[in-house]
Structure 1
Amino acid sequence: MRVSTNQLHNTSVQNMTGQQSRINETQDKLSSGLRVRQPSDDPTAAARALDLERAISAVERFNKNGDMARTRLSMSESALEQAGNNLQRIRELAVQAANGSQTPETREQIAAEVRERREQLFQLANSRDGSGEYLFAGSRTRTQPFHMTSGGTVEYRGDQNTREVRVGPGRQMSVDSSGFEVFMDGGTGNGHYQVREAPGNEGSGVIIPADTGVQGIGSEFEAYRVRFAEDQDGNLRYAVQRTRDADGGPEDWEWVQPPAQDGQAPDVSEAPRYEPGGTIEVADGVRVVIKGEPEGAESFAAAAPGDTFSVTASRPQSVFATVDKLATALEREGTGEAFHNAVNRALGDIDLAMENISEERAEIGARLSALDAEEASNEAALVDLNKALSDAEDLDYAEATGRFNQQLTGLQAAQSTFSRVQGLSLFKYL
């Protein structure tokens, strides 16, 4: 076959150009550290790398959501801690005010601090995060949750929903708290039932719920009352009445301790004897403690009854109303039994409010702990995914360096051969 000089020249040039292209490709991979720079390099590895990059991006988004959730939950927990500290201080002030050495003037001073603490609670309930969103508005984070009305009461205008963010492949976490549940849905009494003295009581009796009460009253319409009378020997005795309709009239009350015959009031001599500071069980699981000396009537059926104390179901009450009632008692109730009963009620209600806040803090703490575990899992997943991505697309530098040197040597040999072949001519030998 005849080989022309032009054909030999073109073939040599194409060979050198191809080798130079391969050298450039290898050099590009060495500089980038990637074995797969485009899908044609390794279609299977390229598809695998694309899937892994998507998975890595998803986990990184989970971590960003987790950082946002951590910031918001930490700020909520801090606000609740301050609210709990304020309530603890209010409780200390209530105990201080109940001391017999206090005067109406000093109690008014204590009331002024109580009201200032209430204002701080109001501000804490309207706390915001770094982006200006309210922490305790439920899912309505752009709406101020707590508003003061013209009458001085506090209204909640948020909702009871919460937003959730995804912090892991199978984990969503709430980042909001409902201010209604934290600040507006506290109880009264001991959380199961509440007690109160009758407005016309003339004795020194003070009533509190017994801590052992765990059953509570059957319904919000059920109520009990403890009445006092003196027997012929001057001993103070008590009887218990019950009604199924708290809004009903006198005919709706029945005697349950001691039981009466034919609906008539029980005989005083048959009623239990009153022991100051003793526990009175008004119903199964409903117990109260009455201290002091209540005023007793001549009989339980007397038209002018003696002192009476009521026991009703616990009602929802906001922490702001609880503090308001304490401040009002400090300002108006004086130093008598009405004042001490009001302070005792306030102490019980404050304890419930503090318990409510502590429960919310515990729930936030549990979410933060779960967030720690989820972030640790995400970090471990990122390590595994990045390793798999590296295996799929990263370059073996030792192999690539060897190949580059081999290709470079081949190019140099081709260039040397081309220069010699190009110089060959028959005219040199003629």
Structure 2
Amino acid sequence: MRITAANAFETSIKNLQKRQEGLSDAQDRLTSGKRVVTASDDPVAAARAERALAAMVRSEANQRALEASRNVMLQAESALGNAGDLLQQARELVVQGGNGSYGASNRETLADALRGIRAQLLGVANRGDGAGGYVFAGQGADSPPFVDTPGGVIFRGAEGEISAASDEALPLSVDGRQAWLGARDPSGTGTVSVFTALDTVIGKLSDGSLSEAEVSTAVKEGLADIDAVMNNVLTSRAAAGEALNRTDMVESRIAESKLAAKTERSNAEDLDMVQAISDFQNRQTGYDAALKTYSLVQRQSLFQYLSA
């Protein structure tokens, strides 16, 4: 009888411990809101959740890259818009230079105004991106990419563009050489830069020895060059605007991807709260029953048995 009583006691203890562990486990799941807390809970679901988490992290990285690209493209689009406005002002001044009633002093005044516009354009071309770089540095430059030399403005950046490290092709810079120095020459035989176009017409307007016919020719050629560089600047601005439009579409795809990954992770590891509460209540009932059984077995003794 003592062996039977000992077995009953040991069995009730084990049952109580098992019920207590199950209750504690159910309570932990309710607290965390997770069905899968460790990989051993459900290896397949845990693997699904891990893949979904990796997809979420990748989406967040893509979003950061997108924001960086959007910031640079906004600055580029704004800068090229400023350049277009300045070139339009320059064009109007050159038109005035063709006024037959203007003398050398009048044309020199126009040339001075054009020099001021040229200086502003150089500042726009060397505009920073707010992160220690330059919007028009191409593939990068440690210093302002456009340098004014005795022979004219030269580009010391790296041709091309930098793209963000993301799943989408998102630009982080603009090819400054193409935007500012790469306009097609009106003759179709080469290229002309924003600064060369201005330097040429400034030189002509400042030359008091030119005849009226020569001034007229200089104005005509100057306008053709300015129109060429304006068109090139506007083309680059349109490309920046297109990149901005693309970021909006990419952002929508990133959001969808992140939501899908978040949903997949939730489906893999989150609790069905209604089912979890029901399970907890059932385990609570089972634990209470095991506790009562343990109390009854604990009160059993040889004397109680003999007195029966």
Q: Map residues 69-108 of structure 1 onto 2, 5 A cutoff.
A: 69-108=69-108
From 267, 271, 292, the counterpart of 1:416: 292
From 193, 196, 208, the counterpart of 1:321: 196
From 273, 277, 295, the counterpart of 1:401: 277
SS at match of 1:154: strand
Task: Give the Cα separation in 1 of the matches to 2:267 and 2:140.
Answer: 47
- Offset at residue 78 of structure 1 (A): 1.0
- Aligned residues of 2:65 and 2:166 also touching (Cα < 8 A): yes
Task: Give the Cα separation in 1 of the matches to 2:147 and 2:202.
Answer: 20
SS at match of 2:191: coil
Could you list the runs of 5+ residues in structure 2 that have no partner in the other structure?
none
Moved more, 120-129 or 415-424: 415-424
Q: Work out whether 1:380 is the aligned partner of 2:256.
A: yes
- Offset at residue 39 of structure 1 (A): 1.2
Task: Give the Cα separation in 2 of the matches to 1:59 and 1:377.
Answer: 9
Task: Give the Cα separation in 1 of the matches to 2:300 and 2:34.
Answer: 44
Task: Give the Cα separation in 1 of the matches to 2:296 and 2:158.
Answer: 89
- Aligned residues of 1:161 and 1:178 also touching (Cα < 8 A): yes
Q: Work out whether 1:177 is the aligned partner of 2:174.
A: yes
SS at match of 1:140: coil
Q: Work out whether 1:330 is the aligned partner of 2:205.
A: yes
Which residue of 2 is the match for residue 232 of structure 1? none
TM-score by length of 2: 0.92
- Offset at residue 72 of structure 1 (A): 1.0
Q: Map residues 222-301 of structure 1 onto 2, 5 A cutoff.
A: none
Which structure dedicates a bigger proportion of its chain to helix?
A: 2
- Aligned residues of 1:167 and 1:371 also touching (Cα < 8 A): no
Task: Give the Cα separation in 1 of the matches to 2:2 and 2:34.
Answer: 45
Which residue of 2 is the match for residue 280 of structure 1? none
Task: Give the Cα separation in 1 of the matches to 2:292 and 2:261.
Answer: 48
**Amino acid in the other structure paired with 1:41:** D
**Amino acid in the other structure paired with 1:161:** G
- Aligned residues of 1:137 and 1:159 also touching (Cα < 8 A): yes
SS at match of 2:223: helix
SS at match of 1:148: strand
**Higher relative contact order (CA closer than 8 Å, sequence separation 6+):** 2
**Amino acid in the other structure paired with 1:368:** L
- Aligned residues of 2:118 and 2:198 also touching (Cα < 8 A): yes
- Aligned residues of 2:12 and 2:297 also touching (Cα < 8 A): no
- Aligned residues of 1:104 and 1:335 also touching (Cα < 8 A): no
Task: Give the Cα separation in 2 of the matches to 1:144 and 1:107.
Answer: 32
Which residue of 2 is the match for residue 391 of structure 1? 267
SS at match of 2:164: strand
Cα RMSD of the aligned pairs, angstroms, is 1.9
**Amino acid in the other structure paired with 1:390:** S
Could you list the runs of 5+ residues in structure 1 that have no partner in the other structure?
194-312
Matched residues, number: 305
**Amino acid in the other structure paired with 1:332:** D
Task: Give the Cα separation in 2 of the matches to 1:73 and 1:36.
Answer: 43
Task: Give the Cα separation in 1 of the matches to 2:241 and 2:122.
Answer: 23
SS at match of 1:164: coil
Task: Give the Cα separation in 2 of the matches to 1:180 and 1:40.
Answer: 58
Which residue of 1 is the match for residue 161 of structure 2? 162
Give deviations 1:15-69, integer Å, cap 9, x for gaps.
2121111111111111111111111111111111111211222122111111111
- Offset at residue 6 of structure 1 (A): 4.0
**Amino acid in the other structure paired with 2:199:** D
- Aligned residues of 1:135 and 1:141 also touching (Cα < 8 A): no
SS at match of 2:192: coil
Q: Work out whether 1:425 is the aligned partner of 2:301.
A: yes
Give deviations 1:44-99, integer Å, cap 9, x for gaps.
11111111211222122111111111111111111111111110110111112322
Moved more, 70-79 or 347-356: 70-79
Inter-CA distance 356–349: structure 2 relative to 1 (3 Å threshold): same
- Offset at residue 344 of structure 1 (A): 0.9
Task: Give the Cα separation in 1 of the matches to 2:261 and 2:190.
Answer: 54
Q: Map residues 134-153 of structure 1 onto 2, 5 A cutoff.
A: 134-149=134-149, 151=150, 153=152
From 303, 325, 342, the counterpart of 2:218: 342
- Offset at residue 424 of structure 1 (A): 2.3
**Amino acid in the other structure paired with 2:160:** N
- Offset at residue 316 of structure 1 (A): 2.0
From 221, 226, 233, the counterpart of 1:357: 233
TM-score by length of 1: 0.67
Task: Give the Cα separation in 2 of the matches to 1:69 and 1:141.
Answer: 17
Which structure dedicates a bigger proportion of its chain to strand?
A: 1
Larger Rg: 1
- Aligned residues of 2:2 and 2:302 also touching (Cα < 8 A): no
- Offset at residue 347 of structure 1 (A): 0.5
